[in-house]
Structure 1
Amino acid sequence: MLKEATAFSALDTAFHQPYNESPLDNAIRRAKQELLRLQHPSGYWVFELEADCTIPAEYILMMHYMDEIDTRLQSKIANYLRAHQQEDGSYPLFFGGPGDISCTVKAYYALKLAGDDIDAPHMKKAREWILAQGGAARANVFTRIMMAMFEQVPWRAVPFIPVEIMLLPRWFPFHLDKVSYWSRTVMVPLFILCSNKVKARNPSKIGIRELFTVPPEKERNYFSHVKTPLGKCILALERIGRLMEPLIPKAVRRKATEKARDWFMARLNGVDGLGAIFPAMVNAYEAMDCLGFPPEDENRRIAKEAIDRLLVIGEDSAYCQPCVSPIWDTGLSSLALQEVNKFEKDPQLADALMKGLRWLASKQLTDEPGDWRVNRPNLEGGGWAFQFANTYYPDVDDSAVVAQALAQAETPEFDENLRRATNWIAGMQSDNGGYGAFDVNNTHYYLNHIPFADHGALLDPPTADVSGRCVMFLAGMLKRRPDLKPVLDRAIEYLRKEQEPDGSWFGRWGTNYIYGTWSVLLGFEAAGIPKTDPSIQRAVAWLKSVQRPDGGWGEDNFTYHDASPEKRGRFHTSTAFQTGLALLALMAAGEADSPEVEAGVDYLIRTQKADGFWKDECFTAPGFPRVFYLKYHGYDKFFPLWALARYRNERYGKA
């Protein structure tokens, strides 16, 4: 809660000076200029997207799996890994988080492959920490699959995922169409690798036997994480299936392998890679090797290039991104700059915006094939991907943000883009009124009980944050398209049901309740829901209750692990991006003149850096809650700017 003693010096000064001399205006101008400087000549913005040390460690593991070792690059990635180790020897899933055994095992193995002595202090600390957690056998499924490929654990240590899954009918309890896009793209090439029980080349024959408390071949508790009756039943069926695997006819295995190969080859996605996400791309690359594609094969060469495009290489350090986010970054940067330009009417800014919007319009996916068509076969295309290209997998969330930016341009140039986007987004609504990120009605929750799904992220169900952004866009199109009202009403009703008792909304794709509440309140504002609505007032009260004494807001990723009301919206420090989100949410709820908003704006002005941006060290979003987190390097750039610009518009009036 904001204390009365919070300073308002910057704002007090701002409103007693001419407009062009105010600290508020200067803060906006500096951030705007720096953001424009980072625009690519083609019109887009793209910022680094950083994950935990799992991804760079996996890059080193891939090099040794394939025996394609770039020693110079390996040395730089190793430097990155060493620099991110915690004092207790572990590696966390997000900045400041607790150590994670799977991430730590992969980082340790990668460093050992890179040549680090196991008796070096950092390696000794990591090893002791792993052993204290029960050893490498306690690592998650994906880590154990990696260890099986490197012959460090027996194949019985991993779930039975035969390639014959490709032949199952759609009515079967497990089918590719029943899991999320990211699960499909990761799993299909993995079926090939696991069915062939592949062996890493591992030219130096380096192992990690020292990380086990029980010899791997004698370990009997690889699946101790399976607790539910349904999970144990599926595990028993898996064991029966493993015993029967030698009886599978060769012709059936060949047919299934060919179907898996054809499936992922059709979705290779050029230099943007399978699913445009690192784990799927690596699995596809290794599966092509397993299937006998020679190094000179053009598809294999492009698959490797797609992986290497994810690298961020510095002078002494390097890491690998899980994917890239240009559509998302450009859409949100455009919304922030459009808010700036409502006041300034700057021709140079308007030109930059139009360049970015035209680039976005050119990236719309219209008639390309897509897995979403399984549930919506008659729906015309009209969405956008998250990455530069991901033709099979447009993202509903990105599509709503991009379409909103195009609509705000108020030019007939984008009418066809908007027509297609409106139809596609409206058509992707799930039966409960909400929106998932990529799929419709992806709610087969029983699948989260299968042993393979220990990460709990096999599905893509509707979420409040994505639904809020769809409401934001569709509400703005209602005057053109009155037929959207039933779609909009169902989405709003879904959001009302999803509101937490304390007034917040869960943020599936951003940390966390502050992010979710921001998304929904912007949607409610666009839909014209009165500011006096009880759901809005509860959200406002919650946001004010979690404001920090310095005027800012901050929430950490622990709220994905402990969702108790006393933990929501709280962090040991304020962050610029979450302060920006909270301010935007409060202003959408009609609170622009409140002391809490003034204090939040003052916090952003006081904490702006010399380069015009802000600096948040924390991770900003989950890839998958509780198991995989991301740091969007653009969030501390465009969200604070957007908030300051809207505040200026609310205080001074829109030109």
Structure 2
Amino acid sequence: MSEYLNTNIKTTDRLRWRLEVDHGKQTWHYLESNDEIKNWPQTACDRYWLGLSDKIVDGQSKHSPPKSALEAVYNGYKFFKQLQTVDGHWAGEYSGPTFLISGFVFSTYITRLSIPQAWKTEIITYLVYNSNPDDGGWGIHVEDHSNLLGTTLNYVALRILGMDPEHPILVKSRALIHKLGGAIAIPSLGKFWLAMLNLYDWNGVNPVLPELWLLPYKSPLHPARMRGPIRASHLSLSYLYGRKVTEKMNPLIERLRLELFIQPFDKIDWSAAKNNVCETDIYFPRSPALVVTNTVSNIWNKFQPILGLREIALKKIYKLMKLEEFDSNYISTCAMDKLFRLICAYHKEGPESEMFLNMKEKIANYIWMTPNGMLMNYTDGSQIWDTSLAIQAIIESGLANDPDNHESMIKALEFLDDSQIQSNPTYMKQCWREPSKGLWCFSTREQGWSANDCTAEALKAVLLLQGKLDYTQPLINQKRIQSTIDTLIRRQHSNGGYSRFEGIRGYCWMELINPSEIFENTFIEHTYVECTSSVMTALRVFSKFDLVDHYVDDIEIVCAKAAKYIHSMQRKDGSWLGSWGICFTYGTMSALQGLSSVGENYENSEYVKKACNFLISKQREDGGWGEDYKSASGVGQYIQHPNSQVVNTAWALLGLMYAGYPFSEPIINGIEFIKSRQLPSGEWKKESFKSIIGKNCPINHSNYEFIYSIWALGMYSNLYESDEYYGVWEII
């Protein structure tokens, strides 16, 4: 926490904030009048996410230390159940980069949108709270070292929000910017934002060529070969670069030019600045292939007016953006793309256009309130994903059979029923999308971008709710379920694995021309151990509940190929690297879950035995496991977190129990660690990052402490404390 939080930094009244939900959509509102407060009482969910757990009725409960894992599960779910929203999902924060909220400030500034005063206050609070107390800077995320990208963008955001340049926090952060050589050496993303704000010359930005969208799809360089979210961002960036969208000069811009650079703005050699990146910001150095690509792009950019293709490309790009936004109901793929496209719509059609107004309306879907201020989620949430996992955890524990929890499970089923996609994207062919009917998204149905692992986890939850509980109705009929199964079977890659969003269209060498210095392995779609495991287990659960014979052979073939893929991805030390969770712990747990679904365990599989030995080798003296997000990057090996983590511990324990690990002492010690971290209220406090994107962008997946603690404790209770196992894994 910053030392400056108490230096004239105001905050709003937390008792006036309300979370509104509608079919998974999450938006925060600040109530100005007492009548509004009276007519819209705060819920336990509101209070929890605002840091007011002490004002939750059951949050005041003081449970005695649990004597058993089942008692800990009961206490945990009694609290967690209060956080379920009225539409049946579990809401939560899904944040990561601190510069997302700065991007929000920039996009509203450029498009002349007014930020509500309460939002301004809390954005300032968030940025101040998360500044580095030693040097006044910011990194990519709240646990990162201070760097030029985070510090410069957040500095500019605070200035736009009205903070005086002589405020102590800005004096300190400005000194850091100057120490690092000034904003001239900011990474590519920062150069782009500053250029749009007229704080950087477009001649200092490497081209994002719009003409690439005119290539035939057969060309290996066609942007449609990129991973879905990256393809969408490239579309936006191509337009903004092609139009050289630039904020008009004004007194604030003039002052910021003086504050951000150590040399006069008009004396800077902008051409030389294109490849100038501060050493603190180079997480992944530019490859020789990217250097060559940038050189060729700059040459093309210099002579492209002769051919006259740019205007044709820009018209095509904007049309594609409009079609994509229609299919995502103007929510976009992720926060950054949302902000870029808002600016595109403003620049092309103006503030009164239908496109701009629709985009503007959905900004609030990304904004999230915390005890420490207002941030911007990486996506518009993780509603479907979290709810699907929570259901499985609760059923695993046996608590779904408790009459007190029937309503909760029925609401969750209704939410998943409502969230299944019922039609393919309208402009599927034009926008290179794939069929999504019968699938599920990560956040909400409205957002429209289906994902294989999200579909698989939602399907498992539905099958368990409708097939294992005797009090639920079959809301999702057999035809809809079989539609999902058909698509999952078709989507298996030739190597046996599963990607996340779409089939693999690009080539591995394309990762070498990824222009980002801060993210890696995100340029094209890949197959992932976690996604493969999710689909395997979903198909196996389906095969136990479904009596349609024609699926039997198909599922056996798919699962056999998937198991071989998982075998091939195991590392020499017995681990698997996770790409969506941190990191080797998550990947190994996922792989063991998948292999267990085809009958592999510690006794009959060398792959499983090696994996168990790997997990046991990382257990700490306190019985827990703790892995740092840095495991995903750098040398690519397991890096211990300074402290054991509840979620890492739960993952390791689940992996060992899926594997049928025969030695109980390490498992008991891990369970005792999770129990020891449970508060008397039944909750588990938030710890370090749990998820990761692009090997360098950790994500705060805020419900995981509840979900995976309940899951691990519940599975342990079934295996070790119960005479009869009645959890999920009995059916596989």
TM-score for the superposition, normalised by structure 1: 0.90
- What is the distance in 1 between the residues matched to 2:710 and 2:371? 31
User: What residue identity is the alignment partner of 2:239?
Assistant: I
Say whether residues 1:52 and 2:104 are aligned partners. no
- What is the distance in 1 between the residues matched to 2:678 and 2:534? 28
Count of residues paired in the alignment: 629
Which deviations, in whole Å up to 9, do the C-alpha atoms of 1:152-192 show, x marking residues without a partner? 22212222123332221112232122101111221212222
* From 483, 489, 492, the counterpart of 1:429: 492
Aligned to 1:465: 530
Aligned to 1:106: 153
Matches of residues 210-221 of structure 1 in structure 2 within 5 Å? 210-213=259-262, 217-219=268-270, 220-221=272-273
- What is the distance in 1 between the residues matched to 2:642 and 2:66? 34
- What is the distance in 2 between the residues matched to 1:334 and 1:290? 44
Identical positions, percent: 22
Partner SS state of residue 291, structure 1:
helix
User: What residue identity is the alignment partner of 2:260?
Assistant: L
Which deviations, in whole Å up to 9, do the C-alpha atoms of 1:16-74 show, x marking residues without a partner? xxxx9834333111111122211122211121112231111111112222232426222
Matches of residues 502-541 of structure 1 in structure 2 within 5 Å? 502-532=573-603, 533-541=605-613
How far the C-alpha of 1:410 sits from its partner, in A, is: 4.6
Aligned to 2:205: 158
Say whether residues 1:239 and 2:310 are aligned partners. no
Which deviations, in whole Å up to 9, do the C-alpha atoms of 1:223-246 show, x marking residues without a partner? 256753322221221111111133
- What is the distance in 1 between the residues matched to 2:484 and 2:514? 38
Checking the alignment, whether the CA contact within 8 Å between 2:328 and 2:449 is kept in structure 1 is no
* From 173, 195, 202, the counterpart of 1:126: 173
1:498 to 1:143, Cα distance in 2 relative to 1, 3 A: same
Matches of residues 379-458 of structure 1 in structure 2 within 5 Å? 381-389=437-445, 392-411=448-467, 413-414=475-476, 415-450=478-513, 452-454=515-517, 455-456=519-520, 457-458=522-523
Say whether residues 1:149 and 2:196 are aligned partners. yes
* From 336, 339, 351, the counterpart of 1:282: 339
How far the C-alpha of 1:365 sits from its partner, in A, is: 1.9
Partner SS state of residue 629, structure 1:
strand
Bigger shift: 361-370 or 193-202? 361-370
Partner SS state of residue 699, structure 2:
strand
Matches of residues 613-652 of structure 1 in structure 2 within 5 Å? 613-626=683-696, 628-651=697-720, 652=722
Partner SS state of residue 409, structure 1:
helix
- What is the distance in 2 between the residues matched to 1:183 and 1:445? 15
User: What residue identity is the alignment partner of 1:425?
Assistant: L
Where does the alignment leave 5 or more consecutive residues of structure 2 unmatched?
1-64, 278-284, 468-473, 727-732
1:395 to 1:588, Cα distance in 2 relative to 1, 3 A: same
User: What residue identity is the alignment partner of 1:84?
Assistant: N
User: What residue identity is the alignment partner of 1:597?
Assistant: I
Checking the alignment, whether the CA contact within 8 Å between 1:190 and 1:287 is kept in structure 2 is no
- What is the distance in 2 between the residues matched to 1:267 and 1:621? 27
Checking the alignment, whether the CA contact within 8 Å between 1:57 and 1:106 is kept in structure 2 is yes
* From 253, 275, 290, the counterpart of 1:223: 275
Checking the alignment, whether the CA contact within 8 Å between 1:576 and 1:615 is kept in structure 2 is no
1:214 to 1:232, Cα distance in 2 relative to 1, 3 A: farther
Aligned to 1:257: 314
How far the C-alpha of 1:313 sits from its partner, in A, is: 3.7
Checking the alignment, whether the CA contact within 8 Å between 1:613 and 1:637 is kept in structure 2 is yes
Partner SS state of residue 630, structure 1:
strand
Say whether residues 1:595 and 2:665 are aligned partners. yes
- What is the distance in 1 between the residues matched to 2:415 and 2:523? 33
Checking the alignment, whether the CA contact within 8 Å between 1:372 and 1:393 is kept in structure 2 is no
* From 620, 645, 662, the counterpart of 1:548: 620
Aligned to 2:373: 317
Bigger shift: 141-150 or 71-80? 71-80
* From 625, 630, 646, the counterpart of 1:558: 630
Which deviations, in whole Å up to 9, do the C-alpha atoms of 1:237-267 show, x marking residues without a partner? 1111111133242xx4443233222212122
Which deviations, in whole Å up to 9, do the C-alpha atoms of 1:576-610 show, x marking residues without a partner? 11111111111101137511110111011111023
How far the C-alpha of 1:438 sits from its partner, in A, is: 0.4
- What is the distance in 2 between the residues matched to 1:391 and 1:48? 17
User: What residue identity is the alignment partner of 1:231?
Assistant: L
- What is the distance in 1 between the residues matched to 2:211 and 2:526? 26
- What is the distance in 2 between the residues matched to 1:378 and 1:152? 39
How far the C-alpha of 1:650 sits from its partner, in A, is: 0.6
Partner SS state of residue 273, structure 1:
coil
Checking the alignment, whether the CA contact within 8 Å between 1:152 and 1:209 is kept in structure 2 is no
1:284 to 1:601, Cα distance in 2 relative to 1, 3 A: same
Say whether residues 1:476 and 2:541 are aligned partners. yes
Aligned to 2:229: 182
Checking the alignment, whether the CA contact within 8 Å between 1:337 and 1:642 is kept in structure 2 is yes
Moved >4 Å (runs of 4+): 201-204, 213-216, 224-227, 269-272, 370-380
Aligned to 1:199: 246
* From 290, 300, 305, the counterpart of 2:361: 305
Which deviations, in whole Å up to 9, do the C-alpha atoms of 1:509-550 show, x marking residues without a partner? 111111111111111111211332111111101111111111
User: What residue identity is the alignment partner of 1:467?
Assistant: T
- What is the distance in 1 between the residues matched to 2:74 and 2:385? 23
- What is the distance in 2 between the residues matched to 1:49 and 1:422? 28
Say whether residues 1:334 and 2:414 are aligned partners. no
How far the C-alpha of 1:204 sits from its partner, in A, is: 4.6
Checking the alignment, whether the CA contact within 8 Å between 2:198 and 2:248 is kept in structure 1 is no
How far the C-alpha of 1:270 sits from its partner, in A, is: 7.7
Aligned to 1:84: 130
Bigger shift: 351-360 or 597-606? 351-360
1:433 to 1:139, Cα distance in 2 relative to 1, 3 A: farther
- What is the distance in 1 between the residues matched to 2:276 and 2:304? 23
How far the C-alpha of 1:141 sits from its partner, in A, is: 1.4
- What is the distance in 2 between the residues matched to 1:26 and 1:399? 32
User: What residue identity is the alignment partner of 1:612?
Assistant: G
Say whether residues 1:500 and 2:574 are aligned partners. no
Which deviations, in whole Å up to 9, do the C-alpha atoms of 1:377-396 show, x marking residues without a partner? 99673221111135552011
- What is the distance in 2 between the residues matched to 1:465 and 1:371? 29
1:36 to 1:417, Cα distance in 2 relative to 1, 3 A: farther
Checking the alignment, whether the CA contact within 8 Å between 2:601 and 2:660 is kept in structure 1 is no
How far the C-alpha of 1:442 sits from its partner, in A, is: 4.1
1:520 to 1:140, Cα distance in 2 relative to 1, 3 A: same
User: What residue identity is the alignment partner of 1:82?
Assistant: V
Aligned to 1:346: 402
Checking the alignment, whether the CA contact within 8 Å between 1:49 and 1:632 is kept in structure 2 is yes
Partner SS state of residue 572, structure 1:
strand
- What is the distance in 1 between the residues matched to 2:146 and 2:66? 48
What's the Cα RMSD here?
A: 2.6
Matches of residues 369-380 of structure 1 in structure 2 within 5 Å? 369=425
Checking the alignment, whether the CA contact within 8 Å between 2:623 and 2:670 is kept in structure 1 is yes
